[in-house]
Amino acid sequence: MDARRIADNVDWVGAIDWDRQLFDALVPLPDGTSYNAYLVRGKEKVALIDAVDPAHEQTLMARLASAGVTEIDLVVSQHSEQDHSGSIPAVLAEYPEARLLASDKGKRMLLEHLPIAEQQVQTVKDGQIVDLGGLTLQFLYTPWVHWPETMLTWLPERRTLFTCDLFGSHLATGDTFAREEAEVLVAAKRYFAEIMMPFRSQIERYLDRVNELDPAIIAPSHGPVFDRPSLILDAYQDWVSSPPQNMVLIPYVSMHGSTRIMVEHFLEACWSRGMRAQQINLAQVDTGKLAMLMVDAATIVLATPTVLGGPHPQVAYAAFLANLLKPKARHFSVIGSFGWGGKAVEQLSAMIPNLKVELLPQVLCKGLPNAADFAALDALAESIAAKHAAL
């Protein structure tokens, strides 16, 4: 339970959660996660930046003890969600002299979510600097990465930026720094898709601010630390700013095979027209994979059978999720099969008001698809290819 050095006078004192499988009772964690807390020791003051999930508070305490920490002057809460703040009451009980620092909104949210006395919390303003003695912490308000109260913390003397959820990844690993870069980027993309994608426009602005700081180390509160920040900064720039790719995403469910036949034909029709096309069977995959595929796709085509007059519930969930996550897709359609009628297209189209997409003609067939249905799928692929040519 040792602390791990990430820079002079700066240690990681977090917890690795190898076994967690679900976050927020919503987000699948195929690779576990970590809760990163950091200790910054100035000549006069010691600061703890964020804490850990309460299920792991003993790990945090053990790392602080092994680092020889007998006093903490400041606990910085960058984000009030409980995976980072939930063990702060235990920290304050162990180190009662500590003052808890948070943004304006952060203070309110900490008091609402945790058993913390108001007099223990002090607000810091955007841009405010706190002197630790030879080291300083500057707080940068960055609302909506992930909650409205979130802030980053800049340690200029070490060119280290603590970013809480931003630039994080749900990845349990023994590596303090990102070393398996391909693995880290996949985990970071999944995390971006699930948590950060709805806030793309805010993140785009924050990236400019982060690039101006020119950090040498980016230390998020989940997953590995980046001692080569361009790895994650370049990836984020692409995910938030680049136009969508020449890719058609086809989330689908098939109950008796008809929709599946349509999906297979449609995939071939897309590929033969020079587009990347990817199906994802919603009956089998986790929603994180679906979210990750939404990051780049220029077109989303939902493929559904008809259940009690509407779309299959798993497909409705995919539409609901897309509406929440607001990917940068520009075109949307529905294909599928029905037995005797229904309103799958109308219901799915009504579920995506947040998406800035052009609705393309649907292709629905009765029972098994016939030659006319295949021709309609070809025509849909043709029209998507023409639109993708303008990306």
One DSSP character per residue, 331-374 reads EEEEEEEESS---HHHHHHHT-TT---EEPPPEEEESS--HHHH
Binding site for ligand FEO (CB under 6 A): 79, 81, 83-84, 146, 165, 221-222
Q: Which is nearer to ligand FEO, 105 or 276 (CB)?
A: 105
Q: Which is nearer to ligand FEO, 191 or 374 (CB)?
A: 191
One DSSP character per residue, 13-70 reads --EEESS--EETTTEE-TT-EEE--EEEE-SS-EEEE----GGGHHHHHHHHHHTT--
Cα–Cα–Cα angle for 260, 265, 266, nearest 5°? 95
Cα–Cα–Cα angle for 335, 341, 342, nearest 5°? 70
Q: Which is nearer to ligand FEO, 87 or 221 (CB)?
A: 221
CB of 80 to ligand FEO, least distance (A): 9
Torsion region of 298: left, alpha or beta (phi above 0 gives left; psi -120 to 50 gives alpha): alpha
CB of 83 to ligand FEO, least distance (A): 4
CB of 161 to ligand FEO, least distance (A): 16
CB of 165 to ligand FEO, least distance (A): 4
Q: Where do we find the tokens 């980053």?
A: 152
d(CA 330, CA 318): 16
CB of 84 to ligand FEO, least distance (A): 6
CB of 54 to ligand FEO, least distance (A): 13
Cα–Cα–Cα angle for 106, 111, 117, nearest 5°? 125
Give the closest residue to 14 by CA, choosing from 141, 181, 164: 164
CB of 81 to ligand FEO, least distance (A): 4
Q: Which is nearer to ligand FEO, 221 or 337 (CB)?
A: 221
257 SS3 class: coil
Give the closest residue to 253 by CA, choosing from 217, 302, 207: 302
Q: Which residue is nearest to ligand FEO (CB)?
A: 81
Q: Which is nearer to ligand FEO, 84 or 107 (CB)?
A: 84
Burial (Cβ within 10 Å: 0-12, 13-18, ≥19) of residue 256:
exposed
Q: Which is nearer to ligand FEO, 195 or 318 (CB)?
A: 195
Q: One-letter amino acid identity for 179?
A: R
Q: Which is nearer to ligand FEO, 109 or 262 (CB)?
A: 109
